[in-house]
Chains A and B, each alone.
Chain A
Amino acid sequence: MRTTAPFLILAVLTLAGGIAAMTLRRLVHCALALTVSFAGLAALYLNLGAEFAGLAQLLVYVGAIAILIVFAILLTRGGDDKAEPSFSPAGPAGVVLALAVFAVLAWAVETSGIAHPAALPAVPSAPMRSIGIVLMQRYVLPLEVIALMLTAAMIGAVILALREKRPEQNQGSAQ
């Protein structure tokens, strides 16, 4: 199978969204670009034949995490225009480090031998029925652990985000 044009278009869209999210100045624009990147990744999963993972990505990332990030930006007044720089003083070092990481990963991909395989397999099928059977039989213990962890994370997030009682307010009400 040759690399199809849709895959390359989606990959460029995803990468452009990610780069825009990490370089734009206004936080709301960053959140929008991040959503484009997440949606592009979901489309990439669909393009690769992983329907369930693509739809889960769409529901969780585009539907929930993007909204959470927008809420956090608005609640922390990050949408305001600010005169101060939005990049840390160690910015160039971080970019150099990221480029070095990419160079190492690309070198590993090139030299690992998977770049020139003998033959490529056909498109595997992943019907939701078999995913559900696998989740309920082989991976049922991780599924329960994930359920417990999500509950704990939800309770923890609510407790963390609860407004603290101010001591002076308590004194005021007592008087």
Chain B
Amino acid sequence: MNPLAICLLVSALLFAVGLAGALTRRSAILVLAGIELMLNAANLNFIAFWRFGPHPEALTGIVFVIFAIAVAAAEAAVGLALILAIYRHARTSDVSEITEMKG
């Protein structure tokens, strides 16, 4: 196996770990952490394809990762502020107890 395939497998494993966490944990903060792990797995893919793919001098992978990190930072800030607001309203950050909008 070559390094690119190993990078992609590590990234797929990290994505699966993040997905499992986002789907199974009850704390809203850890759901957000799982989403961050999935975003990071995608970033590792970009870096791996930049490193081992053709035309690395165009720097496309690195620039994409920089933008993805900026978007993830904004997402984390807004997401954690939302969790704080929900906690103040419902006195819990447990996603299985916040069921007010359930039909």
Contact = CB atoms under 8 A, between A and B. Distances in A.
Contact of B57 (A1, A52, A124): A124
B77 to A, nearest CB: 4
B16 A98 contact: yes
Interface in B56-79: 56-57, 59, 61-63, 65-67, 69-78
Contacts of A18: 14, 17-18, 21, 37
A69 B35 CA distance: 13
Interface residues of A, number: 88
A174 interface: no
Contacts of B81: 156-158, 160-161
B4 to A, nearest CB: 6
Chain B interface size band reads 35 or more
Given A56-B66, A76-B87, A95-B20, A64 B73 contact: yes
A57 B30 CA distance: 19
Given A48-B51, A50-B51, A65 B62 contact: no
A164 to B, nearest CB: 7
B74 to A, nearest CB: 3
B81 to A, nearest CB: 4
Contact of A130 (B32, B59, B93, B95): B59
B77 A68 contact: yes
Given A15-B14, A60-B69, A98-B20, A120 B52 contact: yes
Q: Is the interface of B mostly helix, strand, loop or mixed?
A: helix
Residue among A50, A68, A102 with the highest chain B CB neighbour number at 10 A: A50
Given A75-B84, A109-B12, A120-B3, A41 B43 contact: yes
Contact of A87 (B25, B59, B72): B25
A149 B95 CA distance: 27
Contact of B77 (A37, A98, A124, A153): A153
B85 interface: yes
Contacts of B88: 163-164
Contacts of A85: 26
Interface of B: 1-10, 12-21, 23-27, 29-30, 32-34, 36-37, 40, 43-44, 47-48, 50-54, 56-57, 59, 61-63, 65-67, 69-78, 80-85, 87-88, 93-96
A-B pairs, top 3 by smallest CB distance, nearest first, are A94-B23, A22-B21, A124-B56
30 contacts: A3-B1, A14-B10, A22-B20, A22-B21, A22-B37, A44-B10, A52-B62, A53-B43, A53-B69, A56-B69, A75-B87, A78-B27, A78-B29, A86-B26, A87-B24, A87-B26, A94-B24, A95-B24, A97-B19, A102-B12, A115-B1, A115-B2, A117-B2, A120-B4, A121-B52, A121-B53, A123-B51, A124-B56, A142-B67, A153-B73
